Amino acid sequence: MRLFGRKEKQDNPGAEEALGLLLFDNVNEALAAERVLNTAGYAITLVAPPQHLRAGCDLSVSMHRVEHVGAMRTLSEADVAVRMWVDDAEGTMAVSDIVTSVDFGAWLMVRAGNMKIVVEKATGMIVNTSGGGCPDIPYLNLELVGLTLEEAPRPKELGYTLCGLMLDRAYAEACAALGRNAR
């Protein structure tokens, strides 16, 4: 018997209830947790942990305290490793949601935070990625350039860092701007 079944997703994960944090050893575990918990219907937000809990470019998942036991079991079943649960979400910061674009005629460049993607409008082909400073960015550049938006894997599924996550946002915005389907 499941103690915590599939939940109806809520729009605002923390307006009235106390929040806590799931911490991870690396960003790709946090991104995997986001996918698993979203699918399971939990109301979550990706945030930076408070300063005293940071080791580098960390990403954590904020959620209602009362739901974390079931969420941790769901993650365990999905083989997503959680470093620890913290019963306090004070001092967290949200990931930037600022997106801008530049029209280069035959190409569209979309910036999300510190990351950029450039797409040939006529074909949807990714011709460049840039920005960032984490080691998955040159790797993503090699993997994505030359593929169309439809062919390319999602940067957040291939990358491991916050830079990869921001590139994914740029990718999604480029898909929306050019009327193409994101994977």
Partner 1 sequence: MSLLVVATYPVAGGPVLDGPVRVEPDGTVLIGGTRVPNAQGTSAMLGAACRVAAHLGTAAPHALVAGDIGRGEGTREVYRHLAGTVARVRPSVIAFHYMQPIMALMRTATEHLTTAAPDALLVADAGGMYAAKAAGIASRFELMTPDVGEVGFLADPSVSHPAYVSQYLFGTTGFDPVALAHKAYETGGASRVLLIKGARDHIVCEGELIDTVDEPCVPELEAIGGTGDTVTGLACGFLSAGFPTVDAAICACKANREAGRVMGATPAMHARDLVAVLPEVLGEHLCRWSGACAS
Residues that bind partner 1 (CB under 8 A): 26-28, 48, 51, 54-58, 93-98, 100, 102, 104, 107, 109, 111, 113-116, 118, 120, 127-139, 141-142, 145, 159-166
Of residues 40 and 165, the one with the C-beta less far from partner 1: 165
User: 85 burial class (0-12, 13-18, 19+ CB within 10 angstroms)?
Assistant: middle
Query: Can you give 146-168 as a three-state secondary structure string?
Result: CCECCCCCCHHHHCCCHHHHHHH
Nearer to partner 1, 77 or 88 (CB): 88
Backbone angles phi, psi at 95, to 5 degrees: -70, 140
Cβ proximity to partner 1, 57 vs 182, nearer residue: 57
Smallest separation (angstroms) from partner 1 to the CB of 142: 5
State the nearest-atom distance from the C-beta of 48 to partner 1, in Å.
5
Residue 106 C-beta: closest distance to partner 1, Å? 8
Give the whole-angstrom CA distance, residue 153 versus residue 143: 8
Taking the least distance from each CB to partner 1, the nearer of 10 and 45 is 45
Q: Which of 32, 160, 61, 147 is nearest to 171 (CA)?
A: 147
Q: How far is the CB of 105 from partner 1 (least distance, A)?
A: 9
Other C-beta atoms within 10 Å of 1: how many? 3
